Amino acid sequence: MAKAFRTHSQAAATLIAVVKTIQKPPHKQPARFVEPIQCLAVAKLPEGPDWEYEIKFDGYRALGIKSAGRVRLVSRNGNDFSARFPCVARALSKLPDDTVVDGEIVALDETGKPSFNVLQNYNHSATPLQFYAFDLLHLAGKNLRDRPLDDRRELLRAKVMPRMQGEIRFSETVEATAVEIVAAVKKQGLEGVIAKRRDGLYEPAGARAPG
């Protein structure tokens, strides 16, 4: 497996620097729906220290939005998922106010693997649901979309995830080469891989490359 590209000390220093800039925003901006950035299908994953990899889950893309104390779970097309997946919406109630997280709603089959078929037929039964958060667009009234991906994810891990419980999970980066991760995903029968630029901004017109 490949070594991590950033040390813990580097990550901590970056987090401290970013937090200092958002502790007292000059004008608090209410959280709102933002068109999610989309994936771009490629034949070969990009490689190198500028890229990181995450598992592509077989679920529904959604934004968790909390503003004025109210939580909404919104699809990538702007449809409200809150009533359809109330357990996920409730779990996101611990978000800081005026915060937006990007993630994927996933249903698990009897083997514990993500299943799109199970998700499509979800009927508020005992089917376990999870929301994998992988990006942070807005935090406590501060727009983060113009910050590098690494900064946004470090804030997501440090400032948001400790408040989350149950259904809300952090989508971890897989520290491996492109060849290793593609082979592992195929072996386990998972949906795919997403490659993201570590310095990438959150630009809806932009795209990320899945495997």
Q: In this predicted model, what pLDDT tens digit does every residue of 96-117 receive, in sequence order?
A: 999 999 999 999 888 888 889 9
Question: What distance in Å separates the CA atoms of residue 193 and residue 53, rounded to the nearest whole number?
Answer: 7
pLDDT for the residue numbered 197:
94
pLDDT for the residue numbered 132:
97
Catalytic residue chosen out of the listed positions 3, 28, 56, 187: 56
pLDDT for the residue numbered 4:
40
Q: What is the pLDDT of residues 34-58, one digit of tens each?
A: 999 988 888 889 999 999 999 999 8
β-pairing, 192-197 vs 207-210, is antiparallel
Low-confidence ranges of the chain (pLDDT < 50): 1-6
> Is 187 among the residues known to form the active site?
no
pLDDT for the residue numbered 210:
55
**Whether this model's pTM surpasses 0.85:** no
Task: Give Cα separations from 1 to 157, 159, 199 (angstroms).
Answer: 23, 29, 22
